[in-house]
Amino acid sequence: MSCSFTILSEYGEETFEIAYRSGSFEVNKYSGKYFSKRVYVNGFVYVYSSVKQSDLDLYDKHYLKSIIKLDQNVYCEEFSSRDFRIGEKFDFDNGVELIKTISERIRSSGLDCETILVSRNISLKHSVEEYDVESSENRYIHELYVYTYTIFMGRVVTSSRIIVSNKLRDLFNEIEPVVNNILNNIKNNLRAKSFNPVNTGKWRVLLTGDSACAFYHEIAHLLEADEPVKLPINYNFNIDLKITEDPFYPGPLQRLFDDELYPAWRRTIVDDGVVIDYFRTRTSCNGSKPGNARGLFTKPKPFYHQLIVKPGDWSIDEVMKEFRKILLVEDIFKAELFNNYINIYPETAYVYENDKWIPVRNILVRIPVNQLNNLFISLTRDINIRYSFEKNNPLYETTPSTLLEAQVLV
């Protein structure tokens, strides 16, 4: 449908940051407001932004950030007019207690650490005059970053964790699991040996923890409606796989509308192992429904807020019993989609063989995109959770551990 409208948005953020380093605190507080205007008209999207709303009204050409020509009509129906609030206000004393407790717990084990608590109060106000629509969102989100490190024989060994909640008090329940996981990773990374080049080649790889979430994150990039290279509709992964963008899942990024004010709804992207839809915006819906727009100060891109992958029916123990030799990958340095491969660079990895776990390092796991429909072996019942940022947008994922065939290189 040919139409025109303007979305005016006001983004406000008040942030407390408390860092605990070597027994001392550093406290920062900052706030700001930013305004954007996105104009959809005559086959184009014009994006303006400034720190003053009046600038957008008086001096449009000076604050024009981009002009995007569209290759399809804009979806111009169903604008959400809702008010959404989530989370609890930051409590300074509880914040201090939280990071001091977790830091002292780690330092008592002889490790150095840096703990940072970032508590954000994010407010969003939107209006679309042509449709007489006003919506708002007020969100409290508390992010705890724990960086642990030690030096052993001239080598720096690290482990880190990010835990997030809309309620600060919920983070206290995560202290012991996080500390235990960090200490275990540091211990195993100290023991890790360089992977023997003789053993490179095809492996059964069990992706768990952050690596499992990162793997599905890269698959999600292959399911964006506006990207020229993507998995085709009806592509079959040949495994019982279900991937959903779920704004109502009880994670930290629940929402009632997206960045183009389309009402929130659960979109299943992959069902029964088959690609049935893409992430879409008002400018890339192509006869389907929008609802996945991300971006206030750029042309909104189709992507997820909360990516939920349905668990399988295997347990980790069953995987160990069934497959006597595997490579398990947990923490990662990075993951990327590059040259038709999903590349995963492990921070924590183990070879499991003859009922023994051997920590290894200096490897690369490569998963060829053009063979994804032949690589999956099983999905587990356990759930891995990750909170991260991409292009300043927060992302949340819950995924099962996943066993597949991959290439292992050094």
Do 222 and 373 form a contact (C-beta atoms < 8 A)? Answer: no
Do 144 and 94 form a contact (C-beta atoms < 8 A)? Answer: no
- C-alpha span between 53 and 137 (Å, rounded): 18
Plot region of 31 (φ>0 → left; ψ -120 to 50 → alpha; else → beta): beta
Please give the chain's pLDDT, 410 residues, in tens.
Answer: 468 999 999 999 999 999 998 778 999 999 999 999 999 998 899 999 999 888 887 767 778 888 888 878 899 999 999 999 999 999 999 999 999 999 999 989 888 999 999 999 999 999 998 999 999 999 999 999 999 988 877 778 889 999 999 999 999 999 999 999 999 989 888 888 999 999 999 999 999 999 999 999 999 999 999 999 999 999 999 999 999 999 999 999 999 999 999 999 999 999 999 999 999 999 999 889 999 999 999 889 999 999 999 999 999 999 988 998 999 999 999 999 999 999 999 999 999 988 889 999 999 999 999 999 999 999 999 999 999 999 889 999 999 999 999 999 99
Spatial CB neighbours of 400, under 8 Å, sequence gap ≥ 6:
212, 309, 310, 311, 312, 379, 380, 381, 382, 383, 384
Burial class from Cβ neighbours inside 10 Å (0-12, 13-18, 19+) for residue 44 reads middle
Quick: pLDDT tens for 210-235. Answer: 999 999 999 999 999 999 999 999 99
3-state secondary structure of 141: strand
pLDDT attached to residue 67: 86
Tokens representing 92 are: 């300074």
Kind plus residue range of the DSSP H or E element containing 103: helix 92-107
- Global pTM value: 0.95
Do 17 and 28 form a contact (C-beta atoms < 8 A)? Answer: yes
Handedness of CA 313, 319, 322, 328 (dihedral sign): positive
Q: Are strands 24-41 and 44-50 parallel, antiparallel or unpaired?
A: antiparallel
Candidates 187, 150, 147; CA nearest to 163 is 147
200, HSE (Cβ side, Cα atoms, 13 Å):
13
Candidates 389, 147, 380, 150; CA nearest to 253 is 389
Strands (E), 109-132: 112-128
pLDDT attached to residue 70: 86
Task: Fill in the amino acid letter for 78.
Answer: E
Quick: pLDDT tens for 93-108. Answer: 999 999 999 999 998 9
- C-alpha span between 298 and 302 (Å, rounded): 12
Spatial CB neighbours of 241, under 8 Å, sequence gap ≥ 6:
270, 272, 273, 309, 310, 376, 379
Do 299 and 391 form a contact (C-beta atoms < 8 A)? Answer: no
pLDDT attached to residue 2: 67
- Angle in degrees, CA 65, 45, 139, rounded to 5: 75
pLDDT attached to residue 59: 67
Q: Give how far Cα 263 sits from Cα of 44, 149, 179, 183, 257, Å.
A: 23, 44, 39, 43, 4
Distance of CA 370 to the CA centre of its chain: 24
Tokens representing 190 are: 């100290």
Q: Regarding the domain with residue range 5-191, which homologous superfamily does it belong to in the CATH classification?
A: PmbA/TldD superfamily (3.30.2290.10)
Neighbours of 399 (CB within 10 A): 30
pLDDT attached to residue 128: 96
Segments making up each domain of the chain, as ranges: 5-191, 194-409
Q: Give how far Cα 9 sits from Cα of 37, 62, 69, 296, 303, Å.
A: 6, 18, 21, 7, 19
pLDDT attached to residue 8: 96
Plot region of 183 (φ>0 → left; ψ -120 to 50 → alpha; else → beta): alpha
- C-alpha span between 215 and 17 (Å, rounded): 30
Neighbours of 69 (CB within 10 A): 8
- C-alpha span between 347 and 329 (Å, rounded): 8
